[in-house]
Amino acid sequence: MKTSRRRFLKHTGAAAAGGALLFDIVPARALGLQGQPAPSDVLNLGHIGIGGRGRGFLRPEADLGKQVPAPPNLGGEGTRFLRPARSMALCDVDAQRLDMAATRVGGKPKLYRDFRRLLEDPDVDAVYIASPDHWHALHTILACQAGKDVYVEKPACNTIQEGRAMVAAAERYGRVVQVGSQGRSQPAAWQAANYIRAGRLGRVRKVACWHYASPAGDWTPDADPPPALDYDLWVGPARWVPYNPRRTHGSFRWMIDFGGGQIRDRGAHVMSIANWIMDADHTGPVSVEAKGEPPHDGMYDSGVTMEVTYEFRNPEWTLIWAQPGTPSTELDARYGAVYWGETGNLTVTLGDGQGTATDLKAKDFAAHCDCGKAFKSPGHAENFEDCIRTREKPIMHMEAAHRVASLCVLGNISFQLQRKLEWDPVAERCKNDDEANRLLSRPGRGPWHL
């Protein structure tokens, strides 16, 4: 019979309790002595996508056994520490990035170009996924099927169908899935949620988000992909286009097939906080209307400027995404949202891991009252790793992330069709609009489909 390394160590650790002779033949680290964590207490991490965001999740071998504070850009307060973990398996379709990550981690991590081989590794407990947006759904679903818990970067998915399949996979396989909208784990987001849910603004009728425009992009000639990049695997489930350096690393988010513009990038942060504060994590709007001009110049096809209005019912409130919009007069920030209530308003800036802030009145209120009953996350990565142990749902669980991603997807569809969509948030279909409903899914390419 086959047994995993972790199961073997668990049983040998139990045997150690029955006799001290084992101390002479087993290193102290294997038993959790001399300040070292026992192997059964160490979280073995796999990483899929180790470019910009992915590098921030790496846990160097040299840090094992140390109290490592969560990086600020993961939504932590800096007061909590991540549990002992090692980055023992790394995967990227770019060999240069893979080599750099291996050097940063140290030790002897397992290296993969094909994520499926990483998911087959029985020693991997959980995966951090920071691949391009168009890969998030399949990477997450297959990781759940492989029995791994998942932290996946936002936006959760590229289509409504993908998001619902991700929810189903997390539930069917009993996996913890945290989506990386780190703003919910920022102290200011909790202060704002506590203030608003305690009724300090009365009933909130409108949430107005603002953000700067998406880039149009210069025309850059297509080219051959660099030798280190497996470009076919990078494109994966998306529609095939020739390689272009302005469509891949970092710039993919301005293409609808790969990313989806500012609304799917930062919108997944700002509107995540809005949905959380407004208790809309299990529902959606009844109508979506986007206005603006499609891009006429440049190589990108996401909306450069746009305004999307979402109408919710039971209770009634309006969410507005505007790029550019009207910034708050209270706090200076490049993006954020203003919550308009019956007795005043409140600003929450940013919404990712870059220093989310809110008005002083919410901070002062939270200092002496937590009567809003909002969950106070210890940090986004900490919350994820806590939930791996407790098996509870994290603050940005898959259903919540799917609902936020749906706002982004529907905004782009309305913008693309240049008309208002009547949306059924239960059936997750557009009413009387077959053309719009065809855009709620995509066929995939080759073997990469749901």
Q: At a CB cut-off of 8 Å and minimum separation 6, what does 244 contact? A: 220, 221, 222, 223, 299
CA–CA separation, 12 and 19 (whole Å): 11
Of the pLDDT bands very low, low, confident and very high (cuts 50, 70, 90), residue 114 is very high
Q: Is the pLDDT of residue 17 over 50?
A: no
Token reading at 417: 């069709």
Q: Which residue has the higher pLDDT, 216 or 280?
A: 280
Query: Angle at CA 213, nearest 5°, toward 211 and 217?
Result: 150
Out of 4-13, 156-165, 327-336, which region has the weakest mean confidence (pLDDT)? 4-13
pLDDT above 90 as % of the chain:
80
- The overall average pLDDT reported for the chain is 89
Say if CB 78 and CB 69 are below 8 A apart. yes
Distance of CA 81 to the CA centre of its chain: 20
Q: Which amino acid is at 302?
A: S
- Of 175, 204, 219, 150, nearest to 392 by C-alpha is 175
Q: Is the pLDDT of residue 81 over 80?
A: no
Q: Which amino acid is at 297?
A: D
pLDDT per residue as tens digits for the range 190-244: 999 999 999 999 999 999 999 999 998 889 999 999 999 999 999 999 999 999 9
Cα radius of gyration (the chain): 23
What was the pLDDT predicted at 296? 83
Say if CB 272 and CB 404 are below 8 A apart. yes
Of the pLDDT bands very low, low, confident and very high (cuts 50, 70, 90), residue 21 is very low
What was the pLDDT predicted at 16? 39
What was the pLDDT predicted at 266? 95
CA–CA separation, 27 and 204 (whole Å): 60
What was the pLDDT predicted at 118? 98
- Of the chain, the end-to-end C-alpha distance in Å amounts to 34
pLDDT per residue as tens digits for the range 367-389: 999 898 899 999 999 999 999 99
Q: What is the mean pLDDT of residues 64-74?
A: 65
Say if CB 74 and CB 385 are below 8 A apart. no
Q: What is the mean pLDDT of residues 294-313?
A: 93
| CATH placement of domain 184-376+397-438 | 3.30.360.10
CATH 3.20.20.70 fits 7-182, yes or no: no
What was the pLDDT predicted at 418? 95
- Phi then psi dihedrals of residue 399, to 5 deg: -60, -45
Secondary-structure breakdown of the chain: helix, strand, coil percentages, each rounded to the nearest 5: 35, 20, 45
Out of 46-50, 129-133, 223-227, 372-376, which region has the weakest mean confidence (pLDDT)? 372-376
What was the pLDDT predicted at 39? 61
Token reading at 365: 């209120």
Q: Is the pLDDT of residue 10 over 50?
A: no
What was the pLDDT predicted at 40? 66
What was the pLDDT predicted at 70? 64
Q: How many CB atoms lie within 10 A of CB 35?
A: 9
Token reading at 189: 């987001």
Of the pLDDT bands very low, low, confident and very high (cuts 50, 70, 90), residue 29 is very low
Of the pLDDT bands very low, low, confident and very high (cuts 50, 70, 90), residue 9 is very low
Q: Where are the domains of the chain?
A: 7-182, 184-376+397-438
Beta bridge partners of 46: 89, 127
Alpha-carbon distances, residue 56 vs 149, 176, 271 (angstroms): 18, 20, 23
pLDDT per residue as tens digits for the range 153-200: 999 999 999 999 999 999 999 999 999 999 999 999 999 999 999 999
Of the pLDDT bands very low, low, confident and very high (cuts 50, 70, 90), residue 38 is low
Distance of CA 198 to the CA centre of its chain: 28
pLDDT above 70 as % of the chain:
88
- Of 91, 107, 87, nearest to 50 by C-alpha is 91
Q: Is the pLDDT of residue 18 over 70?
A: no
